[in-house]
Amino acid sequence: MLTNAVELELPKTIQIHLVVNVSRIRKYREQVLVQRKQPALPVIIEGEEEYEVEKVINKRKRYSKWEYLVR
């Protein structure tokens, strides 16, 4: 009997449903070196690490705190 669902083997710490439809499964392809984003280096100001924000792309309120997506 053919089935259109697979059960994922994930760590117990990931709390999601382990059975998914096969149409949602894709083979992993590693990123090409130029696609990998390098983390920004912090700027030291008065002994504190700070980051320069080019642009605020989006924001959301989560758990009573604001989160910002920045570039």
Mean pLDDT for 8-25 is: 90
Cα dihedral across residues 43, 48, 53, 58: positive or negative: positive
Distance CA 30, CA 36 (A): 10
pTM strictly above 0.85? no
> Which sequence spans correspond to the domains of the chain?
5-70
φ/ψ of 47, rounded to 5, equals 80, 5
Type of residue at 17 = H
Supply the pLDDT for residue 28. 85
Predicted confidence (pLDDT) per residue in 33-61, tens digit: 666 677 778 889 999 999 888 899 999 99
Please, which pLDDT band fits residue 1 given cuts at 50, 70 and 90?
low
φ/ψ of 64, rounded to 5, equals 65, 15
Predicted confidence (pLDDT) per residue in 22-38, tens digit: 998 888 888 776 666 77
φ/ψ of 22, rounded to 5, equals -65, -25
